[in-house]
C-alpha cells in the first residue's frame, strides 16, 4: 500500500509503498528532505531502492552505537575562525552554507553546529585568515552544500577568494549537481568560471549510478566547458552500493558523463549512521575485486579519515 510522509521545507508529500513496514522516525531532528530531481530517479515501489535508503529517516538512527560520535572527523578541533577548517597543509575548507538540497542519512556533518559557523558574517574573518597565510593555495568550499547558496552569493564569495593572490585553486564539494541538477548554478557561475584565473575543481558526490540522468550529463558538460575538472567522491554504504557490480557500474557511468572516480570513503562514524557501515575487511575485499574489473583510472581510492592524521588514509588490512 502506498502512503505519504511530509517533506521538510516543502508542502509536498513523499509517497512511497510499504511505508508502514519501514520503521520511519517522523520526528527526526534531521528530517526527510529530498529534491524532486532525486525523487524522480527512485523506484518508490521498492523499499530497497538504493536512493530511497539514503534519505529515509529510520528509528534505528536513534540507537547509540559504540565508537560513533557527533563529530567523527574532529572538524571542531581545527577551526581557527568560525566557518573555517584548517586541517590539511596548503588547503583550507570554508563552510559556505549550513543547508543542503537533500538530507543524506549518513552525513558526517549532520550534527555540526552550523548556527555558530557558516554565516555570511563569518566570511570576512575567514577571508582575512586566508589572506594572511601565504602557504594556503587552495580553498575548498563545503557545507552543508555551497551550491545551496543563491547563485549571486556563491559567485560573490568566490570572487573574494579569487582576489587573494596566493590562492591558485578553488575546489567545490557539492551534491547539488547530482541530486538537484535543475537547481544547480548555471548562469552567473558559468560566466565567472569561464574567465577565472583559478584552477577549478568540482567534486560531485554520487553514490550510485541510478543518481545520474540526462540532466546531470548536460550539467556536467557545461561545467567542463567552463573549465572545471570533475571528480567524484562516494561513501561506501551497506545496502546501497556495497556490491562489486554496483561500484563497477558507478565508475563507468560517471566516466560516461565526464567525471573521474576519485575517492570511495569508508563511512565516517557519525551517530545515527551505524546501520550503513561496511566493515573494513569487506571494504578491502570489494576494492580488491574492483581492481580486477576496472582500469586504474576508474578505480577510486578506498580511504578513511583518521582523527589527527593530516591527510586521507588509504584503507589497509591493519585498520
Ligand atoms: S549533501 Fe553532503 S553535507 Fe549535505 S546532507 Fe548530504 S552528505 Fe551531508
DSSP state string for 242-259: -SHHHHHHHHHHHHHTT-
Position 117 scores a pLDDT of 64
Q: How many helices (H) and strands (E) does the chain have?
A: 8, 11
Q: Is 318 helix (H, G, I), strand (E, B) or coil?
A: coil
This prediction has a pTM of: 0.93
Task: Tell whether the model's pLDDT for residue 160 goes beyond 90.
Answer: yes
Enumerate residues 6+ apart whose C-beta is below 8 A from 212: 178, 206, 253, 254, 257
CB 200 within 8 A of CB 242: no
Residue ranges around ligand 1 (CB below 6 Å): 100, 102-104, 107, 109, 143-145, 175, 205
Q: Which pLDDT tens digit goes with each residue over 97-134? A: 989 999 999 998 888 776 666 566 788 899 999 999 99
Kindly report whether the peptide bond that precedes residue 144 is cis, defined as omega within 30 degrees of 0: yes
Position 242 scores a pLDDT of 98
* Residue 39, H or E segment: helix 36-40
Write phi, then psi, for 315 (nearest 5 degrees).
Answer: -65, 140
Q: Which pLDDT tens digit goes with each residue over 61-91? A: 999 999 998 888 777 778 888 889 998 899 9
Distance 14 CA to ligand 1 centre (A): 19
The dotted CATH code for 75-314 is: 3.20.20.70
Q: Which of 9, 109, 178 to mutate to test the pocket of ligand 1 (most atoms within 8 A of CB)?
A: 109
Ordered by start, the domain boundaries in the chain are: 2-62, 75-314
Distance 248 CA to ligand 1 centre (A): 23
- The closest residue, in CA terms, to atom 3 on ligand 1 is 144
Write phi, then psi, for 157 (nearest 5 degrees).
Answer: -65, -45
Closest by alpha carbon to 154, among 210, 85, 94? 94
Residue, of 57 and 319, whose pLDDT is higher: 57
Closest by alpha carbon to 206, among 41, 14, 47? 41
Helix 151-162 × helix 188-195 angle, to 10°: 20
CB 229 within 8 A of CB 201: yes
CB 60 within 8 A of CB 70: no
Amino acid at each position: 500500500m502506498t502512503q505519504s510522509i511530509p517533506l521538510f521545507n516543502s508542502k509536498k508529500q513523499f509517497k512511497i509503498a510499504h511505508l508502514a513496514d519501514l520503521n520511519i522516525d517522523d520526528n527526526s531532528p534531521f528530517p526527510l528532505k529530498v529534491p524532486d530531481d532525486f525523487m524522480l530517479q527512485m523506484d518508490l515501489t521498492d523499499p530497497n531502492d538504493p536512493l530511497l535508503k539514503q534519505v529515509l529517516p529510520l528509528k534505528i538512527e536513534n540507537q547509540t552505537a559504540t565508537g560513533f560520535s557527533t563529530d567523527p572527523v574532529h572538524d571542531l578541533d581545527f577551526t581557527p575562525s568560525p566557518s573555517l577548517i584548517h586541517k590539511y597543509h596548503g588547503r583550507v575548507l570554508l563552510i559556505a552554507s549550513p543547508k543542503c538540497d537533500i538530507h543524506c542519512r549518513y552525513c558526517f556533518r549532520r550534527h555540526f553546529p552550523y548556527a555558530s559557523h557558516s554565516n555570511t558574517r563569518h566570511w570576512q574573518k575567514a577571508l582575512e585568515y586566508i589572506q594572511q597565510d601565504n602557504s594556503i593555495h587552495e580553498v575548498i568550499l563545503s557545507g552543508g552544500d555551497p551550491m545551496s547558496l543563491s547563485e549571486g552569493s556563491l559567485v560573490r564569495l568566490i570572487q573574494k577568494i579569487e582576489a587573494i593572490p596566493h590562492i591558485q585553486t578553488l575546489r567545490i564539494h557539492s551534491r547539488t549537481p547530482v541530486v538537484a541538477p535543475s537547481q544547480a548554478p548555471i548562469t552567473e557561475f558559468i560566466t565567472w568560471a569561464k574567465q577565472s584565473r583559478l584552477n577549478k575543481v568540482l567534486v560531485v558526490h554520487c553514490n550510485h549510478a541510478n543518481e545520474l540522468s540526462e540532466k546531470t550529463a548536460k550539467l556536467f558538460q557545461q561545467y567542463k566547458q567552463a573549465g572545471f575538472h570533475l571528480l567524484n567522491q562516494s561513501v561506501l554504504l551497506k545496502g546501497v552500493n556495497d556490491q562489486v557490480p554496483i561500484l563497477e557500474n558507478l565508475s563507468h557511468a560517471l566516466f560516461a558523463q565526464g567525471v573521474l572516480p576519485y575517492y570511495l570513503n569508508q563511512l565516517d562514524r557519525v551517530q545515527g549512521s551505524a546501520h550503513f557501515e561496511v566493515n573494513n575487511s569487506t571494504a578491502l575485499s570489494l576494492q580488491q575485486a574492483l581492481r580486477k574489473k576496472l582500469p586504474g583510472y576508474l578505480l577510486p581510492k578506498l580511504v578513511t579519515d583518521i582523527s589527527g592524521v593530516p591527510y586521507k588514509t588509504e584503507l589497509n588490512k591493519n585498520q
